Amino acid sequence: MSFADQGAALTRLFSNQSFSDDWFSTNMREQDMPTVIVRAIGRLNRQYGNLKGVRREPDHFIVTLERAELPVYIALDPQGRIAGLLLQTATPTSGSLRSFVEAIAALPGQTACLIATDDDVHHGHNVDLPLAVGSAMKLAVLQAVALAVDEGRLQWEQVCPLREEDRSLPSGILQDWPVGARLTVESLAGLMISISDNTATDFLLRLAGRAAVEAVAPSCRPFLTTREACILKAAAHAGLRAEWLEGETEARRALLVRVAGLEVPAMQDMAPGNAPEIEWFLTASELHRHLCATRDLPVFRINAGPVDRRHWRRVAFKGGSEANLLNLSVALGGEDGREHCVVATWNGLEEINPEHLMTPFLGILHALRSPRGPVE
């Protein structure tokens, strides 16, 4: 079916008060998807207003409501019925920066948010509170590597062999590569930032040195490798985990000597809930500094995460997530020459719905790119 047919189907779906099962394929009806979709669209209409238009993008559509824009992917069967529909997180198009920060602050659990323009922090909430940030900690590793390159201790084109001690669990691909595989420092950094490769991260942490990473991330000492974190998170290592949680910095360093001799557990052998107490704790201020120090590096050109590059001269994004946490960190170069940074972290009391942080985060980005300047 044509793009025009798909756009017409979306217009009908978002603009009608009544719906017909005949709009959906047999398979969709058998799974009761029309009911799910109608309810979701009803919630969107109540929150963001009525349909204003549908715009085609290269591989999807943007549904514009009165107070939001919604990326939508749609597939039609040969009869023109909806055979697949994916509604992505809405970007609020109205609201102030202050209102979005307040929405983040109101989430259950602990939150932090920082918004800076030209390195001046003008909106913040708990900016100096260390919170679990998951893979966003890789920004600290990247800064330490960049400093090592600047000081001549490493080179981006330097080729290094993979060691067994670097091998971690996914995410990533290098955990499946053979020992001795040779990669450049820049390739490792690209894998670490673009696909959050854990083995690449540990490789770089070894090359830069733990002390160098801790120097740029003082809230997180000792700074764990992902391999060490996986071992401490294993169900079989509850005793080690208790020692880590009870120990001070030097006791923890001594514990890591023992951890170094242990095997990486299998994914299915992790503790229930993935032991969320074993984490990297960084402040929004630290993540802001990491981004400011690394935002011009080419490794950020590979994956912009949830940020639409078309609205920005440059995007440097890295996030982190677990079942009970989400971090979204980005440095943005505006077409007007201004530099922005947004950091948002949520540590939930239990498993979280990522959309509850993603929505105000995207609202902040929309406000910052406003031609009128950011709305206070």
- Tens digits of per-residue pLDDT, 68-122? 999 999 999 999 999 999 999 999 999 999 999 999 999 999 999 999 999 899 9
Give residues with Cβ within 8 angstroms of 179, minimum separation 6. 161, 162, 163, 164, 167
Tokens 């079942």 correspond to 323
- Spatial distance between the Cα atoms of 288 and 121, rounded to a whole number of angstroms: 9
Q: Which of 223, 321, 221 is nearest to 276 (CA)?
A: 321
- Spatial distance between the Cα atoms of 195 and 134, rounded to a whole number of angstroms: 14
Omega cis (within 30) before 222: yes
Any idea what DSSP says for residue 164? G
- Return the C-alpha torsion angle 24, 26, 29, 31, nearest 10: -130
65: left (phi over 0), alpha (psi -120 to 50) or beta: beta
Q: How far is CA 166 from the centre of its chain?
A: 23
What was the pLDDT predicted at 216? 98
What was the pLDDT predicted at 17? 72
Q: Residues 94, 98, 100, 103: is their CA dihedral positive or negative?
A: negative
With contact defined as beta carbons under 8 Å apart, do 299 and 142 qualify?
yes
What was the pLDDT predicted at 18? 80
- Spatial distance between the Cα atoms of 123 and 113, rounded to a whole number of angstroms: 8
Which ranges constitute the DSSP H helices of 177-248?
Answer: 185-194, 198-208, 210-216, 226-233, 238-246
What was the pLDDT predicted at 183? 98
What was the pLDDT predicted at 291? 98
What was the pLDDT predicted at 373? 56
With contact defined as beta carbons under 8 Å apart, do 119 and 292 qualify?
yes
Q: What backbone phi and psi angles, to 5 degrees, belong to 156?
A: -60, -35
What are 300-326's pLDDT values in tens digits? 999 999 999 999 999 999 999 999 999
Give residues with Cβ within 8 angstroms of 84, minimum separation 6. 28, 73, 74, 75
Any idea what DSSP says for residue 300? G
With contact defined as beta carbons under 8 Å apart, do 241 and 273 qualify?
no
Tokens 């929004």 correspond to 284
- Spatial distance between the Cα atoms of 360 and 102, rounded to a whole number of angstroms: 9
What was the pLDDT predicted at 65? 97
Residue type at 242 in one-letter notation: A
Cβ atoms within 10 Å of 283's Cβ, excluding its own: 23
With contact defined as beta carbons under 8 Å apart, do 173 and 195 qualify?
yes
With contact defined as beta carbons under 8 Å apart, do 188 and 200 qualify?
yes
Count of CA atoms in the C-beta half-sphere (13 A) of 57: 14
Q: Which of 259, 132, 149 is nearest to 204 (CA)?
A: 149
- Per-block mean pLDDT, blocks of 10 residues, the chain (376 long): 86 87 94 94 95 94 97 95 96 96 98 96 97 98 98 98 96 97 98 98 98 97 97 95 96 97 92 87 98 98 96 97 96 95 96 97 94 58
| Cβ neighbourhood burial of 171 (10 Å; 0-12, 13-18, 19+) | middle
Which tokens hold the place of 183? Answer: 């990669």
